[in-house]
């Protein structure tokens, strides 16, 4: 629990030592050198640009002061940039950078903090923005108030493409959800927002040319073109490229509602309400399809300033194609063998349209094919092998396999995934250089505007570190978790609601009564992700995500702290928590009475209390009052195994520390 | 803790009895009759207007469905009004009401909920809006999912003027703070937003005619005219009148920075940074003052649609007037005796200007004078006596004395204040009818955008009940607290952050580490208000409000629950909480290390743990293990008295339940 404190002490106490390379920053910088002293941050804090500057930097400096003010709670009137000579933080861009964030631009920065003032030096605005975020993370309250420790940081990213994909089709994500997640992305130096704008369950952009797309394909939940432009500008201001994705030719049910003539089989079509792969696919053989898409892309491409444009291309269901005589005839005529070739043909046609509009095509693994133009970027949901294959064939690629946030895997799992590991290790340096980075993916079958932040954050910060920090510097999982917990709290000041929405969701479940017993239970559980949820019950987009599993987080901080305490046999916190658990079901039970939402987790609550009682008894044994009977130990082991089985789409994570102690008792450790 | 549940059971179990008059609603309706059965609220929930309708009602219905969807977590696609015949809730307005909310309009409604559907009948949109809020409060999760119990409600307000005053001058409150508080106001049927827009510390509206007002008088924090119009429209949509206040001729320091010629003594002036009454006052004797104010009011009055316009008029410091030979000469010439008469002269001039612009003047107590035009409304911060005096002289009045939220008094105190009590009792019915209602006041010396919601809510809901509900129906303090706690949670869905900002503020204090021990301490404390804070240290508007006292709430739910448990000697929760307190300081101490913000409350934390230990020992005595020694009891009494003394601007409220138990132990109760 106290690891962040320990780290701080170690780092700032032992300046100039090797351990100074691990301050409470995420992502970790390339080089960190602690120095003596600190820079006080108080109401007179000010910042100014001393080198090249532009509207983007000036806005960022204003936002930065407001952010530091919010983070510290200190009023800072000098929200407008100060005179350079008097500013406590001077920001020097040495060159005029691009107006838009661009792939591969120089994102490096150097930050020097001394007791007299701080200096941030960067080649371009992009680097300056990153340096400001590093500075913000360094602001901590100390014995004399808020300060930044004296420090020298040199930093640059390992990969140029560090993204977050957000699915806004399966569940609708209003503009404010996108905005706050862009702010959080910037805080951990992610630089690509991949916006999954259409899928079977919703077409989310206003088209004026083809208005039935959003009118019939979105349930009224879509972004106006003004909102799209606003988001692109909002992201630009934060150094983030926006890459739109219109998935085609499959995953297009929502298009076909209003434009069934695009499909390979007669309609009518309706908006998808369930998950999985639908039959509906565009007809790749009709010229009218390309006329439509030409006009459509002609309308959409100017809304986005970034040259990269994602066409999806994943999971095409070939059923309609194989059942259509005309499509089969076309395939024969054009010597296209099977669905695979038909999709390649489709991709080539789209790629030409995109090139006409000045865009570079990006697609999922499936687009890879010998005839694919070399500049196409392949995004891999399958793994490093297909990424390596693409790279060896001259394509650039980005990794998403292993970075699927909606699986609700532990942060440590994502931390262990590297775009250049496994199959990618065998690549030549030139081939390896084609691997541009990766993207965390947030598919939204089981997340909505209320819950999505807690499915993205703080775990996406760990992926951000994997993509930014030198591989060899970012290896310590314990340090990662300690820093992730601290950064999770810093992220609150960006407006993202991964922590804020927890309380109201528990309050809803508690039906207006104090939710404390429910919180104790939720803190002891971990939510399951896509696979288990899909198997648990029949979900549709209309099934409420208001249950216990939706409030519960992917990883439990409480349990992690207890596992650490169990590891070092720190009795006091274990006893305290077990006592609380033991008594919790008696308090939970009245809350759950006549409450449909809580009825399902009654057994879980009973197990938590049983677990608390068991933990207390094990502690008694471990503290040597009497030896644990063998038979009792075996019975408890079985009981723990039973309790570890997921129920109601959650795992009783609290079992884990008790299991550690039970092993200790079995081995006779004291 | 379980009182809301008990109430529910009593009410819905005992339909048709007198106790059915107390469902979990705030404010309490005039008449409530429970009926058998309930109306299920699920994804097919829909609403439609069946009588007179307008844009305001249609928008309200859409917002209402979105609100119920948010509150329940159930996706509701039918966000647009349904066909009347199929709607589950049919809303019938029987007359076309005013476009704007207006003083004294018919706000009554009747709500009938049956298992087959619900019907809301109202004379005007105003009543319909109130009925929708009642319906939203009735939506609860039950054994089979969310529902509204079958019920018959007839309702209308006791007073037509039910306001909340918000000071945006002392600390700046951005538009989103105003918006979310308007939503919360609507949820408890408050209908006047009194916007204190200028004071010594800030002039908060854009004037195009006199731009130095905001340019030099606001630190850049002001509302544009577009924002003012937006807020007025936002409030209108929620049935809320907006009454602006420009305080004059005193409390005008921020005006005088840019326009020192308005003052009664030469400048220069600067924005006020401390609190209290400044010397600066407008010169009531110069024609130029009125020329300025004529143009100013000519520009400002059209921004606000409501006819009532507040000119403040409080706390004029007469020093500048008495020291000015020209003002003294003017007074002699016009037979004005002293500052009082000068202010009356000023008010009369302003009143004429306001009348020219179609406005009715409102002012604080001090404006009362025999020559005051009869239509002027007097707002009393002094008490019912001055309100009664005004009423007896033919003026209408509103009460604010006793409703000052920034004093952080308990809700029960505000609940005990009645506009028609005390001196007002002696009024004739006609005179009494001039007392229009009251306003809760939120002065912002010790509140900012982050903390203000927790200073307003949920206590303002109690004042709303006092002003809406029949006096004789709203008397049970225990019921009030039980309902306030439930409604506090319902208010979360309006967006107001009184609960949401608690966690982040504690996280800030905990410097990125788990804040749990700090939360235990904060839950056991209560923050002090204006008076004690002013005496505690020298505050200015630049002193950060980021300390423990700012996170702590005015009233502790935890302590209230314990007091109830102590009252009925319910040992289990007492023992559990005391145990937690007893062990808390050991967990708090590492958090407070090297943390300037937490250093001050170390003694408080030590006391909480001592209190826990003391409580446990008293419980042991009470449970009869051994009698409590007299000497020990006396020593503990002294110790509790010491601990009850406020420190660091907070009160260790946790002392109260222990005190109850100590009294029990003294009396030998078991």
Q: Which two tokens stand for residue B82?
A: 């349904």
CB atoms within 10 A of CB A538: 8
Contact B512 A490 (CB under 8 A): yes
- For residue B504, the chain A residues in CB contact (below 8 A) are 489, 492-493, 499-500
In angstroms, the CA A382 to CA A375 distance is 20
Give me the DSSP letters along A399-431: E-TT-BGGG---HHHHHT--TTSGGGGGS-HHH
Q: Tell me which chain A residues have a C-beta less than 8 angstroms from the C-beta of B493.
A: 504
Q: If you measure CA to CA, which chain B residue comes closest to A69?
A: B544
Reply yes or no on whether the pLDDT at A468 is more than 50.
Answer: yes
- Which chain A residue shows the shortest CA-CA distance from B594? A143
| Residue B509 per-residue DSSP state | H
Task: State the burial class of residue B152 (Cβ atoms within 10 Å of its Cβ: 0-12, 13-18, 19+).
Answer: middle
pLDDT tens per residue, range B436-463: 999 999 999 999 999 999 999 999 999 9
Instruction: Tell me the per-residue pLDDT of A287-328, one tens digit each, with 9 for 90 and over.
Output: 999 999 999 999 999 999 999 999 998 888 889 999 999 999
DSSP B636: H
> Which of B53, B408, B439 has the alpha carbon at shortest distance from B245?
B439
Inter-chain touch A2–B596, beta carbons under 8 Å? no
With cut-offs at 50, 70 and 90, classify the pLDDT of residue A82: low
Instruction: Say whether A140 and B512 touch across the interface (CB within 8 A).
Output: yes
How high is the pLDDT of residue B12? 33
Predicted confidence at residue A224, as pLDDT, reads 98
Name the pairing type of β-strands A192-199 and A202-203: antiparallel
Determine whether the interchain pair B542/A144 forms a contact, defined as Cβ–Cβ distance below 8 Å.
no
CA-nearest residue to B598 within chain A is A143
Tell me the pLDDT band of A80, cut-offs 50, 70 and 90. Answer: low
Query: Which residue in this structure is represented by tokens 């030099």?
Result: B216
Question: By percentage, how much of chain B surpasses pLDDT 90?
Answer: 87
Tokens representing A645 are: 């089985």
Who contacts A291 (Cβ-Cβ below 8 Å, separation ≥6)?
Answer: none
Residues 6+ apart with CB under 8 A from B354: B297, B301, B309, B311, B360, B361
CB contact under 8 A, B220 and A486: no
User: What confidence score (pLDDT) does residue B112 get?
Assistant: 98
DSSP 8-state symbol, B189: T
Mark yes or no for CB contact A485/B514 under 8 Å: yes
Please answer yes or no on whether A596 and B144 come within 8 Å at the CB atom: yes
* Chain A interface mutation, best of B7, B42, B448, B489, highest count of A Cβ atoms under 10 Å: B489
Q: What percent of chain A has pLDDT over 70?
A: 96
- pLDDT classification of A668: cutoffs 50, 70, 90: confident
The 3-state DSSP composition of chain A as helix, strand, coil percent (nearest 5) reads 45, 15, 40
Please state the pTM of the whole predicted model: 0.94
Q: In angstroms, what separates the C-alpha of B595 from chain A's closest C-alpha?
A: 5
Which pLDDT score, from 0 to 100, does residue A19 have?
37
DSSP state for residue A144 in the 8-state scheme:
T
Q: Which residue has the tokens 């983030």?
A: A240
With a cut of 50, say whether residue A3 has pLDDT above it.
no
Summarised one tens digit per residue, pLDDT across range A425-440 is 999 999 999 999 999 9
Q: End-to-end alpha-carbon separation of chain B, Å? A: 22
Provide the mean pLDDT of chain A. 93
Q: Which of A497, A532, A543, A519 is nearest to A650 (CA)?
A: A532
pLDDT at B78: 59
- Is residue A612 very low, low, confident or very high in pLDDT (cuts 50, 70, 90)? very high
The whole-angstrom separation of Cα B591 and Cα B588 is 5
Burial letters A626-662, b for 16+ CB under 10 A, else e? eebeeeebeebeebbeebeebbbbbbbbbbbbbbbbb
Nearest CA in chain B to A557: B514
pLDDT score of B500 more than 80: yes
Annotated catalytic residue: which of B33, B58, B227, B315? Answer: B315
pLDDT in tens, A479-534: 999 999 999 999 999 999 999 999 999 999 999 889 999 999 999 999 999 999 99
Q: Is the peptide bond before A27 cis (omega within 30 degrees of 0)?
A: yes
Among A43, A145, A220, the residue with its CB nearest the CB of B542 is: A43
**What are A554-610's pLDDT values in tens digits?**
999 999 999 999 999 999 999 999 999 999 999 999 999 999 999 999 999 999 999
* Helix ranges, B393-476 (H): 411-415, 429-432, 452-456, 459-468
Contact A4 B512 (CB under 8 A): yes
* Tokens of residue A201, six digits: 């369950």
Contacts B9 to A, Cβ<8 Å: none
| Helix (H/G/I), strand (E/B), else coil: A91 | strand
Residue B670 · residue B622 · CB < 8 Å: yes
Please give the Cα distance from B94 to B131 (Å, whole number): 14
The DSSP symbol for B386 reads H
pLDDT digits (tens, 9 = 90+) for B9-30: 333 333 333 333 347 999 999 9
Q: Is the pLDDT of residue A20 over 70?
A: no
Per-residue model confidence (pLDDT) at position B85: 75
In the structure, what pLDDT confidence band is assigned to residue A627 with cuts at 50, 70 and 90? Answer: confident
Q: How confident is the model at residue B669 (pLDDT cuts 50, 70, 90)?
A: low
Q: Is the pLDDT of residue A18 over 90?
A: no
User: Among partner residues A500, A507, A511, which is closest to B140 by beta-carbon distance?
Assistant: A511
Q: Which of B489, B546, B586 sits opposite A72 (nearest CB)?
A: B546
| pLDDT at B136 > cutoff 80 | yes
Residues B557, A593: C-beta atoms closer than 8 Å: no
How do strand A140-142 and strand A89-93 relate by DSSP bridges? unpaired
Active-site residue A526, yes or no?
A: no
Q: Is the pLDDT of residue A5 over 50?
A: no
For B159-181, b where at least 16 C-beta lie within 10 A, e where not — what string?
A: bbbbbbbbbbbbbbbeeebbbbb
The Cα of A195 is separated from the nearest Cα of chain B by a number of Å equal to 22
Closest CA to A73 of B600, B545, B552, B168: B545
Look at residue B7 in the predicted model and tell me its pLDDT.
36
Could you tell me if B82 and B117 are in contact, meaning their C-beta atoms sit under 8 angstroms apart? no
β-pair partners for A647: A650
Which among A548, B370, B350, B562 has a CA at the least distance from the CA of B362? B350
DSSP letter at B52 equals B
Q: Round to whole Å and give the CA distance between B44 and B37.
A: 19
Q: Give the pairing of strands A241-246 and A192-199.
A: parallel
Identity of the residue in B503, B544, B596 whose CB atom sits nearest the CB atom of A144: B596
Mean pLDDT computed over every residue of chain B = 93
- Asked whether A394 and A433 are in contact (CB, 8 A), the reply is no
* Mutation target vs B (from A11, A141, A564; most B CBs, 10 A cutoff): A141
Q: How far is CA A133 from the centre of its chain?
A: 18
Task: Please state, in angstroms and as integers, the Cα–Cα distance from residue B95 to each residue in B60, B168, B517, following that order.
Answer: 17, 37, 57
Q: Where are the beta strands (DSSP E) in A82-191?
A: 89-93, 109-114, 117-122, 140-142, 145-155, 161-167
**Mean pLDDT score, A109-124:** 97
DSSP A325-392: HHHHHHHHHTT--HHHHHHHHHHHHHHHHHHHTT-EEEEEGGG--TTS-TT-EEEESS-HHHHHHHHH
The residue behind tokens 């691990």 is: A22
For the cut 50, the answer to whether the pLDDT of residue A12 exceeds it is no
Question: pLDDT digit string (tens) for B365-406?
Answer: 888 888 888 899 999 999 999 999 999 999 999 999 999 999
Position B434 scores a pLDDT of: 96
Spell out which residues of chain A touch residue B136, defining contact as CB-CB under 8 Å: none
Mean pLDDT of A129-140: 97
| Secondary structure class of A193 (helix, strand, coil) | strand
Q: Which of B26, B60, B66 is nearest to B457 (CA)?
A: B26
- Structure tokens given for A522: 């939720």
**pLDDT of amino acid B1:** 31
Instruction: Identify the residue with better confidence: B588 or B666.
Output: B588
Torsion of CA A72, A73, A74, A78, to 10 degrees: 90
pLDDT at B510: 95
Total Cβ atoms within 10 A of residue B395: 21
CA A146 to chain CA centroid, Å, is 29
Name the 3-class secondary structure at A654: coil
For the segment B145-169, the average pLDDT, to the nearest whole number, is 97
| 3-state SS record for A556-614 | CHHHHHHHHHHHCCCHHHHHHHHHHHHHHHHHHHHHHCCCHHHHCCHHHHHHHHHHHHH
Instruction: State mean pLDDT over A358-370.
Output: 92
What pLDDT sits at residue A120? 98
Could you tell me if B82 and B41 are in contact, meaning their C-beta atoms sit under 8 angstroms apart? Answer: no
Output DSSP code: residue A58: H
Residue B11: which H helix or E strand, with range? helix B3-13
- Helix ranges restricted to H, A116-264: 125-138, 175-187, 212-217, 225-237, 253-258
CB-closest option in A219, A514, A542 to B1? A514
- Asked if A450's CB is within 8 angstroms of B70's CB, the reply is yes
User: Of the candidates B482, B372, B641, which has an alpha carbon nearest to the alpha carbon of residue B386?
Assistant: B372
Output the pLDDT for position B82. 54
Cα gap B32→B26, rounded to integer Å = 13
The structure tokens listed for B462 are: 């109690």
B590/A2 touch (CB, cutoff 8 Å), yes or no:
yes
Catalytic residue among A299, A315, A516, A600: A315
The residue-averaged pLDDT of A260-289 equals: 95
Residue numbers in B near A448 (CB within 8 A): 75
Token pair in block for residue B363: 């002012």
pLDDT at residue B339 is higher than 70: yes
Please report residues of A whose CB lies closer than 8 A to that of B550: 73
Q: Is the ipTM of this complex over 0.90?
A: yes
In this structure, which long-range contacts are made by residues B571-578, counting pairs with CB atoms below 8 Å and at least 24 apart in sequence? B571/B619, B571/B622, B571/B623, B572/A583, B572/A586, B573/A587, B573/B1, B574/B615, B574/B619, B574/B657, B574/B661, B575/B616, B575/B619, B576/A583, B577/B612, B577/B615, B578/B611, B578/B612, B578/B613, B578/B615, B578/B616, B578/B619
Band the pLDDT of A77: cuts 50, 70, 90: confident
pLDDT: which is higher, B1 or A155:
A155
């Amino acid at each position: 629990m106290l690891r962040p404190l320990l780290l701080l002490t170690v780092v700032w106490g032992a300046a100039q030592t090797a351990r100074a390379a691990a301050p409470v920053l995420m992502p970790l910088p390339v080089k960190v050198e602690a120095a003596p002293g600190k820079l006080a941050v108080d109401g007179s804090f000010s910042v100014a640009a001393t080198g090249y500057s532009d509207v983007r930097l000036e806005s960022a400096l204003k936002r930065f002061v407001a952010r530091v003010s919010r983070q510290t709670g200190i009023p800072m009137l000098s929200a407008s940039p100060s005179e350079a000579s008097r500013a406590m933080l001077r920001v020097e861009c040495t060159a005029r950078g691009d107006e838009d964030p661009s792939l591969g631009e120089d994102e490096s920065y150097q930050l020097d903090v001394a007791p007299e003032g701080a200096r941030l030096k960067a080649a371009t605005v992009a680097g300056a923005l990153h340096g400001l975020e590093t500075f913000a993370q360094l602001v901590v309250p100390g014995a004399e108030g808020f300060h930044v420790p004296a420090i020298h940081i040199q930093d640059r990213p390992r990969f140029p493409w560090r993204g977050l994909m957000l699915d806004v089709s399966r569940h609708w994500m209003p503009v404010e959800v996108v905005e706050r997640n862009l702010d959080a992305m910037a805080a951990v130096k992610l630089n690509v927002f991949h916006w999954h704008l259409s899928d079977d369950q919703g077409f989310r952009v206003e088209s004026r040319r083809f208005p039935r797309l959003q009118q019939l394909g979105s349930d009224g939940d879509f972004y106006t073109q003004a909102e799209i432009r606003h988001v692109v500008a909002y992201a630009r201001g934060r150094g983030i490229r926006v890459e739109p994705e219109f998935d085609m030719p499959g995953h297009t049910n929502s298009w076909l509602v209003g434009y069934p003539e695009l499909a390979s089989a007669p309609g009518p079509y309706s908006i998808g309400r369930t998950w999985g792969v639908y039959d509906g696919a565009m007809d790749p053989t009709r010229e009218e399809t390309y006329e439509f898409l030409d006009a459509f892309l002609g309308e959409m491409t100017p809304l986005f300033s970034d040259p990269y444009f994602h066409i999806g291309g994943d999971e095409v269901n070939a059923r309609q194609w194989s059942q259509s005589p005309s499509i089969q005839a076309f395939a024969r005529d054009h010597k296209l063998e099977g669905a695979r070739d038909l999709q390649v043909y489709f991709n080539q046609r789209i790629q030409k349209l995109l090139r006409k509009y000045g865009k570079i095509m990006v697609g999922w693994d499936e687009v890879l094919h010998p005839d694919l133009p070399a500049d196409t970027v392949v995004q891999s949901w399958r793994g490093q092998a297909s990424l390596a294959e693409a790279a060896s064939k001259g394509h650039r690629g980005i990794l998403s396999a292993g970075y699927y946030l909606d699986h609700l895997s532990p942060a440590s799992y994502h931390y262990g995934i590297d775009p250049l590991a496994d199959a990618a290790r065998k690549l030549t340096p030139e081939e390896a250089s084609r691997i541009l980075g990766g993207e965390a993916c947030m598919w939204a079958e089981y997340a909505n505007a209320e819950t999505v932040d807690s499915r993205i954050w703080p775990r996406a910060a760990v992926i951000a570190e994997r993509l930014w920090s030198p591989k060899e510097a970012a290896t310590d999982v314990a340090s990662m978790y300690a820093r992730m917990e601290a950064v999770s709290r810093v992220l609150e000041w960006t407006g993202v609601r991964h922590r804020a929405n927890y309380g109201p969701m528990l309050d809803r479940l508690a039906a207006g009564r104090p939710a404390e017993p429910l919180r104790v239970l939720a803190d002891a559980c971990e939510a399951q992700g896509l696979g288990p949820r899909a198997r648990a019950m029949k979900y549709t987009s209309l099934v409420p995500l208001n249950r216990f599993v939706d409030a519960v987080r992917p990883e439990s901080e409480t349990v992690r702290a207890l596992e650490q305490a169990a590891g070092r046999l720190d009795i006091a916190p274990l006893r305290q928590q077990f006592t609380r658990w033991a008594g919790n079901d008696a308090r939970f039970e009245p809350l759950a009475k006549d409450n449909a939402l809580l009825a399902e987790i009654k057994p879980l609550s009973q197990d938590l209390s049983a677990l608390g009682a068991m933990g207390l008894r094990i502690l008694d044994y471990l503290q040597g009052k009497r030896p644990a009977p063998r038979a009792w130990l075996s019975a408890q082991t079985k009981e723990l195994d039973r309790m570890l089985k997921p129920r109601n789409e959650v795992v009783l994570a609290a079992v884990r520390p008790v299991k550690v102690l039970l092993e200790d008792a079995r081995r006779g450790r004291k």
